[in-house]
Amino acid sequence: MRVLPSLAAFGLAVVAAIGLTGCTSTVDLDPAKAANDPLCAEITSNLPGTVSGQARRWTDAQATGAWGDPAKVLLTCGVEPPGPTTLRCESVAGVDWIIDDSDAPRFRITTFGRTPAVEIYLDTTADAEGNGASSRDVLDALSPVVSVLPVDGECLDRVDATPAP
């Protein structure tokens, strides 16, 4: 699986986006490949004004969202749906989320079994005022919005998965 190169590229993009958020009121993000999917428009038009105590900010890319100053939560709709993985999966409000904690306290959380997929980059690090984003609060706020995406799979417990040949 080629996860490490994509994680490195993702990390650089996020660091660049977070770095730029301090210079302007608009968060600079890149749209996902399928950002023009009408379901992504439905999601982004229904994003909440606050998430985990962080106020929503403008972004300059289609089908994206950002909260916090500097941005603590970044959302991108239209990313490539993930395939089978051994990463931890949590179900929140009927939405399965794959949690990549390899860069903790920063997390990449991606919907599983939904097309188009939604990816959230979450920074739980507290700033000088003690503000950080809570993963539970973020998923509680965003799962109902994301639940409009059609379900085409679900996370399985390890014992229920088909063994590899």
The tens digit of pLDDT for each residue in 17-67 reads 444 444 458 999 999 999 999 999 999 999 999 999 999 999 999 999 999
Q: E strands within 44-147?
A: 50-51, 54-59, 64-67, 73-79, 88-92, 95-103, 106-112, 117-123
Structure tokens at 35: 């950002």
User: What is the pLDDT, as a whole number, of residue 20?
Assistant: 43
- The Cα–Cα gap between 141 and 105 comes to 19
Q: E strands within 1-157?
A: 26-27, 50-51, 54-59, 64-67, 73-79, 88-92, 95-103, 106-112, 117-123
Residue 35 identity (one-letter amino acid) = A
pTM of the model: 0.80
Residue 97 identity (one-letter amino acid) = W
